[in-house]
Amino acid sequence: MLKEKFPELAKEPVLVACSGGLDSVALVHLCKQTGLDFGVAHADFGLRGSESKADAEFVANLARKFNTEYFVKSFNTNYYANLHKLSVQESARNLRYHWFQVLLATTRYRWVLTAHHANDQLETFLMHLNRGAGLGGLCGIPERQGRILRPLLQVTRSELEEFISENGLAYREDSSNATDNYLRNRLRHHAVPPLLETLPGLLPAFLQSLEHLEGAREILLKHLEGIKASLVTQEADCLAFNLEQLASLSPRGPYLFELFAPYGFTDYRAIEDLLEGMSGKEVQSPTHRLLRDRKALLLKSKASEAIKEFQFDLWETGNYPPGLKITLVEAKMTPASIQKDPDPNVLYLDKASLNQRLWLRKWRQGDYFCPIGMRGGKKVSKFFKDLKLSQFQKEAQWILGCGDRIVWLPGLRGDDRFKVTEATRQIIKLEWRHE
């Protein structure tokens, strides 16, 4: 079954994620019986004291028995959960899968196998149903997810128990599985057994329905790709969804849900309100921000918002911020010849007007400068407003300064107080190529 459904496993080495429990021990033995080239990986989440250590030793002995490589990683899961404000279960999952990616990148193994089975799939379906999930969530646990494969999703828990019993295999019992501390456990103990007793054919019928749902999901995704081709454009570090086209979608709610759910937005009504709202209004998901601009909804990842500030000396060439190049102009230039250069990412300055120490940071409310070509000073926020920049564009704008004065808004405008004049003796050329 393994080689037929996953032919790549016969050609490339794989890692089996093994907790020591019944499911993963069965998978390890199946891999051995099938003749796969495999290693074993065990994540110790440190949640059950000596019991966790005993699990790790059991899995180590299992790997030694089959003369295969063994990898173990210990985690402080509670610390991670508190730091990131996540549940223990979600934290353990994040830590585990991140470690799998590290192993795939640093060892000879090409795939990771996990022992999720049909009963896990049913529990996941019920949990997602309880959250009001869309079609994607109701499809459950994917059989393939990058380099992660789950070959037992069509196998029931009772079939694995039968395999373990027939082969007289030992395994570890996780004492936390006997508690009702987690929703999955409560479903496993109290909801699923009566369902299976009342509907004995539920699991095979459920798995067949999942296949239909996955097929419908594939059709939907292809349709959405066609919609997005004309609806979405890339703008710097955000995606722009055309407002007029969004408003014309029908039925609008389901379209909005499917378009934005991959970015963590599960309440399509909030997005409908955004369509009708004022420019500048926004909603947020755990991972993204969605801003209502004049003609588009702008989608931006929160991961791109790390705020940095640089301070550096003028001729400290090895310490310039990324994207900034500073050179001393040797050739004779005049203010008139400089004005002919149309590149907004290049600025020529009078060297004498600068101190040695410069700084580079993102725009802040209250910033003020004297734009070249304008009389007097102007708030940067007002300058942005005149250019009709979106909130995301404002937040992304870098500011180069010297002392308490702004020198340049890279890509937009320099400050008049630093410009080249007929009296300038030395000229500095600034170039901005920041991605």
Q: Which residues are annotated as a binding site for ATP?
A: 19-24
Tokens of 186: 């409560």
Distance CA 154, CA 134 (A): 22
Distance CA 267, CA 286 (A): 13
C-alpha angle 378-382-383 in degrees, rounded to nearest 5? 75
Across 338-359, b (16+ Cβ under 10 Å) vs e yields: beeeeeeebbbbbeebbeeebb
For every residue of 127-138, DSSP letters joined together read HHHHTT--HHHH
Annotated binding site: 19-24
Contact 128, 192 (CB under 8 A): no
Mutual angle of helices 118-130 and 202-231, in 10-degree steps:
60
Contact 19, 172 (CB under 8 A): yes
Distance CA 242, CA 281 (A): 16
